[in-house]
Structure 1
Amino acid sequence: MDNAFCTINNQTYSAYQFSQLDIATISQLRRFLECPTCHAPAFFRKAARNGQAACFGARPHNDECIESAPLSRLINGENDDEDVLHNDGQRIVLDLNYGAAEAVNHIDDDMNENGAGRGVRFRGNGNRPNAVVHRRLSTILRSLIINPAFRFSEQMIEVGTINQTISEFFVPFNEINQNCIGRICGYWGQIVDIGAGQDGTIWLNSGGREDVSLCLPTTIQQRFFDRFRINMVEDLVGSYILYLGDLRVSQNNKYYIVIDELTFVTCY
C-alpha cells in the first residue's frame, strides 16, 4: 500500500514521505494510520537493507478494497528507524508491464514503440542500497488523486529512459499550458464531458473549450472499452484518467492528447 491516512493530524502520507519524518514523529504517528480507502487499521513497514522500499499495509483491508496487495510485496525483516532516515534515495520505477518477469518498457521520443528490454532489479551485495519500488500506472493514478502531497513530491520516477521528479513528470489537466506542448508527461485529471467527431472519434473532455481534451480514435475504442470494462462511453464521465504521451495543439489553439497506445493509459 503506497498511502496511509493518519487520524491524529488528518493527513495522507505516501510511504516515502512518512519514512522521511524524524524518528519521534514516526513512533507517534504510526499507531494512528489507516487505509485511505477502506479505513482499516494500517501499519508502516520500514525500508529493508536488501533494497525493498518502505511501505504501508493494513490489518487487513476490508473485502474488495482496491488498496489491498499480497503480503509478499511487504518485507519480512525489520531494521531500525535510523536506517530509514538515511535511506533517502527511494525511487519509483513505473512498470508498464507489471507482473511480467522483470520487464521494463522503454518509451521513445515519439511514444510510438513499447520496448521489451530486460530490466534490472537491485540485488543486495552487502551495502545498503537506495530503495527502489516498482509501481503500476493505476497505482500512481490513485496516489495522485488521494494524496495531494504526492503530486508535488521531489521523489524521482523512472519511466523507460525518462528520469524526472514526480512534480515535473505528472501534469494535472488544469495546469497544462503552452510550455507543455510536445512534452512527454503523465497528463491526468477528471473527465467531465464526452464528445464525438463526425469520423467516429470520441473526445474525452476535461472542462470547457479552453481545456484539454483526449482523443480516442476509432481504431482503439473497442480495446479501450474491453480493458476498462466500459459498456457505454458515458460511463467515463466523472472518472479520472492518466495518459503518458505528448501534448498537441490544434490549428484553433485547442490543447489535445491522442490516446493511441493502451499500455500508456489507465482510468479510475
Structure 2
Amino acid sequence: MLDAICTLDETKPVTYTVFKFQKLSDADIEHYRQSLICPACNGKAYFRKASKDGKAACFGSRYHQTDCSEFNPSNAKVREELAAIEVNQLLVDNDALVIDFSKRAGGKCASLSSADKKVVVESKADKGNTDLAEIGADKAGTQDEQSGMSRVSSEGLDKLLHSLLRGSELAESDLWVYTDEKYRWRAKNLFVNFADAEPTDNGAPRMYWGTLSHSDKNMHWLNPADCRDVGIPVEDYQEALCKRFDIQERRDLEGAGIIIFGKCFFNKDKTRKIIQLWGKDISRMAISKLDD
C-alpha cells in the first residue's frame, strides 16, 4: 500500500502517501499511526518504518476485504487462512482443545506423541474434582455434556493466533479449552480481542489477541492496533521476547499478530488498561511477524 487514510479526526480524514507519512515528526507518526485505514476497503492499516537493512517504509493491512484492490496475497495470508480452516474443522471434530504452549510454529509438539492430533483421553468430568474458580475459569462442576471418552486435539499458540487473525470461529465457540491439566474454559470466554479487553473482577487471565501497531522507542511497551487504551509491558522479559521471536528492531513488531495469556487491569489513573503476561512466562505468548 502506498497510501493510507488517517481517521483520527473522523470529520476530516486525511490521505497520506507513505512518502509523506514517513516525513512526519516522530511524535506525529506515533499520534496518527493507530488511526490508519486502507483507502480501498477501510480495513485497519499499519505503518512500518524503513528498516536498517534497506527495506522501504510502507503501509499495510491484515484486514483487507477479499475483493480489495489493495489486497496482495502473501505467505502470511495463506498460512492464516489454512490455520482458520484447520481450526474450524477442529471445532467440529473435537470435544476439547489442549493448548500446548511448548509447540512452536513449524515444530513438533514436545509433550505429546506423534498421534496427538486427535487423542482419546479419559474425560475430566468423571473425576469430578476440577476446581476452576481459583483463576476465574469456567467452573466444570461434576457434570459435563459428554461423559466417558472425549476427542481432544492439541494445538500451539501460533496456529490459534493465525486462525483468529483470519476470522476462525474459535473466539465464539463453546469448545472446552484447557490451558493446563487443571484449568479449562469455554473458548468464547477465553479468547478476547484487544478491542474488547476489560479488567476481570478477580484478576482472572484471558487469552488476549490481535495485531500490534507499534512499540515505544525502547521496546518496553507494545501497543495494539485494535484499540488505543491498552498497553502490554514487556520490559521485564524484553530480552527473552526478542530472542524467542527474533525481534531486531521496532519495525519487526509493527503490524505483527500477537496472542498473550495474561491478566488485564487498569493503571493507577484508570485511563489505560494493562495486559500483563501471566507469570511472565514467555511461552504463553506468540508473535507472528509480517515477514515470517
Question: Structure 1: 5+ residue runs without aligned partners?
Answer: 1-35, 46-52, 57-84, 104-120
Distance 2:98 2:199 in 1: 28
User: How many aligned residue pairs are there?
Assistant: 172
Asked whether 1:37 is paired with 2:78, we answer yes
User: What is the aligned counterpart of 2:206 among 185, 196, 209?
Assistant: 185
User: What is the aligned counterpart of 2:120 among 119, 122, 131?
Assistant: 122
After TM superposition, give the deviation of residue 39 of structure 1 in Å.
11
Contact 2:210/2:259 (<8 A) preserved: yes
Counterpart of 1:231 in 2: which secondary structure?
coil
Aligned equivalent of 2:267: 250
User: What is the aligned counterpart of 1:211 among 229, 232, 235?
Assistant: 229
Contact 2:81/2:166 (<8 A) preserved: no
Aligned equivalent of 1:237: 254
After TM superposition, give the deviation of residue 154 of structure 1 in Å.
1.1
RMSD: 3.7
Contact 1:181/1:247 (<8 A) preserved: no
Distance 1:139 1:256 in 2: 25
Distance 2:234 2:148 in 1: 45
Counterpart of 1:138 in 2: which secondary structure?
helix
Please give the per-residue CA displacement for 1:153-209, whole angstroms capped at 9, x wherever unaligned.
Answer: 11111111221111100111001124467121101111112225xxx5611112598
After TM superposition, give the deviation of residue 256 of structure 1 in Å.
0.7
Distance 1:129 1:185 in 2: 27
Contact 1:203/1:216 (<8 A) preserved: yes
* Bigger mean CA deviation after superposition, 132-141 or 174-183: 174-183
Question: Structure 2: 5+ residue runs without aligned partners?
Answer: 1-76, 104-108, 114-118, 123-146
The alignment's TM-score, normalised by the length of structure 2, stands at 0.50
Distance 1:158 1:234 in 2: 34
Contact 1:248/1:256 (<8 A) preserved: yes
Please give the per-residue CA displacement for 1:127-177, whole angstroms capped at 9, x wherever unaligned.
Answer: 993211011011111121113422211111111122111110011100112
Aligned equivalent of 2:112: 102
Counterpart of 1:93 in 2: which secondary structure?
strand
Please give the per-residue CA displacement for 1:190-243, whole angstroms capped at 9, x wherever unaligned.
Answer: 1112225xxx561111259852110011x4212211111121023101111111
Aligned equivalent of 2:95: 90
Letter in 2 for 1:150: L
Distance 1:208 1:148 in 2: 17
Counterpart of 1:131 in 2: which secondary structure?
strand
Please give the per-residue CA displacement for 1:109-142, whole angstroms capped at 9, x wherever unaligned.
Answer: xxxxxxxxxxxx6369xx9932110110111111
Aligned equivalent of 2:285: 265
User: What is the aligned counterpart of 1:152 among 138, 158, 172?
Assistant: 172
Asked whether 1:223 is paired with 2:236, we answer no
The alignment-based identity, stated in percent, is 19
Change (3 A) 1:95 1:206: same
